[in-house]
Every structure is written in structure tokens, then in C-alpha cells.
A and B are shown apart, each in its own frame.
Chain A
């Protein structure tokens, strides 16, 4: 079966760094995506990894290890507006997205 695991909830402090992990087992692999979803809003695209390594985009970075079926999203210099759910998704061999349940990130002052 296909499965994506990520922690249900994490708490971090404003100004700090937090790493959100995602592990996956899917039928084929055509890329891993991270989306951000604020409460009551729609998900928005954050990042895409298809090759091993780190992709950096401002305060956010995403890492992928295909051999380990593992990714993480790294958020630096946390701001209160980063409080949201972060969704990990993998594109399988049929080019369909398989979604994790999301990690709710709580930022405390």
C-alpha cells in the first residue's frame, strides 16, 4: 500500500528553527511536494523535490533522500504567521499525488 507519515503536531518558538519530517512508501516516485495550509484556508504550494538533496527558498528549505524514503521541511527564523499545517505529498508512478495527513505547527512567542 501507499503511505505517507508525518507528525501530527509540533510546537516551536518564534525566531527559532523547526524541522518537519515526512517518510513515504509509494508505488513509484515522481517527486515530493510540501504545501502550507493556514487554518480555514486552502493549501498553497511551497516546494518540490525530485532529486536527492536540499532545495532552499528563502527561510524555507526542503530535503529529499529517495533511498531512505524521507524528506524534511526546514523553517528558519520562525514568525507567528508560520503557524499553519504543513502537508507532505508524493507523486506516484501514475503522476497522482498521495497526501500525508499534515503537521500542525504551533508557534509560541
Chain B
């Protein structure tokens, strides 16, 4: 049981380059999230999805785009990387309760460490 898998785990980009982070989960979870984590700032939500084909903006969406074409995959794209996007990125998923609400118990991937020079 792989859980939540992120690729790549490490990446170095030059300013202005683009890239895509891939997140895959095998738990049939409805909800998926992309967070960034910077020292002293905790987890900040970039974008999230409540189901296949739907996405929504989080707290810090600027400079990022996402897609969820399949329920198990959630892609995070950086269109034109900037040094301010140097961070650790975490993908997470969670399931719905019997009432259809988010349970809040998140399962995280191992993280993707991105450096933008």
C-alpha cells in the first residue's frame, strides 16, 4: 500500500523555468491538497480539490496551477519559477465521512524539495 506518492523528491530550477509536481494516492480519497512549508511559517495551502475534475484556490495560489483529471492524481504546476517558490511542497489526501464531509485526517506524501536559483 503506497499511500501518497510525490515525484520528484528533489528539483533545482532556474528562475523562469516551468515544472510539474505529480501526486498520486491509492486510497480512493476524495480530497487532495498541495501545501508548501517554509521555516517558521507552518503549512500553507496552495490549491486543493474536493473531487475529480474540481480544484479550488487556497491561501497562497499565485504562481501555481493545478489539475485533477483523475481521482488518484493531483498535479501542481509552476508556470515561471521564482526564487520565492523555493520551498518544501507536500501533497496530502483525506477521505469523507459518512455524511460527505472532510474528516480532516490528512495523509501526506514524503515531500518535494524545490530550489529556484
Contacts and interface: CB of A to CB of B under 8 A. Distances in A.
Q: Bound pair: A and B? A: yes
B17 interface: no
Contacts of A31: 104
The range of chain B's interface size is: 10 to 19
B2 to A, nearest CB: 13
A48 B104 CA distance: 9
A82 B51 CA distance: 35
A96 interface: yes
B42 to A, nearest CB: 4
Contacts of B101: 30, 95
B25 to A, nearest CB: 13
Contacts of B110: 41-42
A42 B104 contact: no
Nearest to B97: A95
A97 B107 CA distance: 13
Interface string B92-114: 00000000011011111111000
Nearest to B107: A45
B43 A43 contact: yes
Contact of B104 (A8, A30, A87): A30
A11 interface: no
Contact of B106 (A45, A95, A100): A45
Nearest to B105: A45
A44 interface: yes
Contacts of B102: 91, 95-96
Contacts of B42: 87, 99-102
A33 interface: yes
Interface string A79-109: 0000000010101000111011110000000
Contacts of B105: 33, 45, 48
Given A91-B102, A95-B101, A95-B102, A44 B108 contact: yes
A17 B41 CA distance: 26
7 contacts: A8-B40, A31-B104, A43-B108, A97-B45, A100-B42, A101-B41, A101-B42
